[in-house]
Amino acid sequence: MISRENIRRVTLLSPSLTMLFVMIGLPLAILAWISLLQRGVTSGVDWSAPLGLDNYIRLLWEEDFDGTIFFHTRYLEVVLRSVLLAAGTTFFCIIVGVPAALWMASLPKRGRDVIVLLITIPFWTSLLVRNYAWLIILRDDGSVNWVVNALIPGDDVGLLYTNTAVFIGLVYSFLPFMILPIYAVFEKFDWSLLEAAYDLGAGRARAFRKVMLPIAMPGITAGAMLVFIPCLGAFITPALLGGGKTLMIGNLIQLQFGPSRNWPFGASISIVLLALMMLFLMGLALWKNRRSQ
């Protein structure tokens, strides 16, 4: 049905939706397409190559000089490391985020607003700059090493360029994304429910487990989504704090579009990353559904 109202709506929406289609939707479609093509001799892509799944097969199988095909884990390791780092970061952020959000919600209004602002600010500052800050701290002549050596004299700690450094950087980058949605739930919480739990003889631990944790659940799942997904596709943190042995999916993609110049292979890794994200979102939705039944 074409009414005046519909025409107006379409007119107002079309500039932004067109922009997003041209600059995001169309590029993603081309990305999916060239993931089925081959690397070109002079340019990034051989547009006339026949479509095939070669790039996806290359992720797990490789052809030897004599033509035998063998399984390798070079890229699987990177994918697994990314998933584990993202899961570990998400888990750690939940452990820290729930008590931190509880504390914020228990503050008087004024102080609470200031703390919320302080937790929000990192989100709006450059991720690159914040990870650079950790690069300085974790270096062998950096503050962490200095403090540790002052307490326990010995060798350099050598944290930089390890999985631990990447983990610290990821937690640092995305912790606010966990705290804020959990806090948003606690802020609206009717605290008399907690008092009721105490009145009915529950101890603090029990009241926390039976009342506060279920209340926090929607915030935790929202936070898990906001932390896990950017972690999985992280580039800056592993690029600055990690080394050659701590590559994540994001670095692998960048390598294909930079030094290796194999765009179709890089495109296939990007599609795998998007597929992993979708899997995670679907799993989360399923889990939420089952809980609410």
Within 3-32, the residues that bind other proteins by CB under 8 A are 8-10, 12-13, 15-17, 19-20, 22-24, 26-28, 30-31
Least distance between other proteins and beta carbon 172 (Å): 7
Residues 220 to 259 in contact with other proteins, rule: CB under 8 A: 229-230, 232-233, 235-236, 240, 250, 253-254, 257
Among residues 167, 174, 177, 263, which is the contact residue for other proteins, using CB under 8 A?
A: 263
Residues 34 to 63 in contact with other proteins, rule: CB under 8 A: 34, 43-45, 47
Least distance between other proteins and beta carbon 238 (Å): 11
Q: Give the binding range for other proteins (CB under 8 A) out of 2-10, 48-56, 63-71, 215-223.
A: 2-10
Least distance between other proteins and beta carbon 193 (Å): 11
Q: How many residues bind other proteins (CB under 8 A)?
A: 84
**DSSP notation for the chain:** ---HHHHHHHHHHHHHHHHHIIIIIHHHHHHHHHTTSB--SSSS-BTTSPP-SHHHHHTTEEE-TTS-EEE--HHHHHHHHHHHHHHHHHHHHHHHHHHHHHHHHTS-HHHHHHHHHHHHGGGGS-HHHHHHHHHHHHSTTSHHHHHHHHHS-SS----TTSHHHHHHHHHHHHHHHHHHHHHHHHHT--THHHHHHHHTT--HHHHIIIIIHHHHHHHHHHHHHHHHHHHHT--HHHHHH--TTS--HHHHHHHHHTTT--HHHHHHHHHHHHHHHHHHHHHHHHHHHHHH-
Burial class (CB in 10 A: 0-12, 13-18, 19+), 89: buried
Based on the shown chain and the rule CB under 8 A, indicate whether residue 132 belongs to the binding site for other proteins: yes
Residues 139 to 168 in contact with other proteins, rule: CB under 8 A: 139, 141-143
Based on the shown chain and the rule CB under 8 A, indicate whether residue 84 belongs to the binding site for other proteins: no
> Which residue matches tokens 């600055």?
240
Least distance between other proteins and beta carbon 84 (Å): 17
Least distance between other proteins and beta carbon 20 (Å): 6
Based on the shown chain and the rule CB under 8 A, indicate whether residue 180 belongs to the binding site for other proteins: no
Q: Give the binding range for other proteins (CB under 8 A) out of 65-73, 155-163, 189-197, 216-224.
A: 189-197
Based on the shown chain and the rule CB under 8 A, indicate whether residue 73 belongs to the binding site for other proteins: no
Residues 91 to 120 in contact with other proteins, rule: CB under 8 A: 96, 99-100, 102-106, 115, 117-120
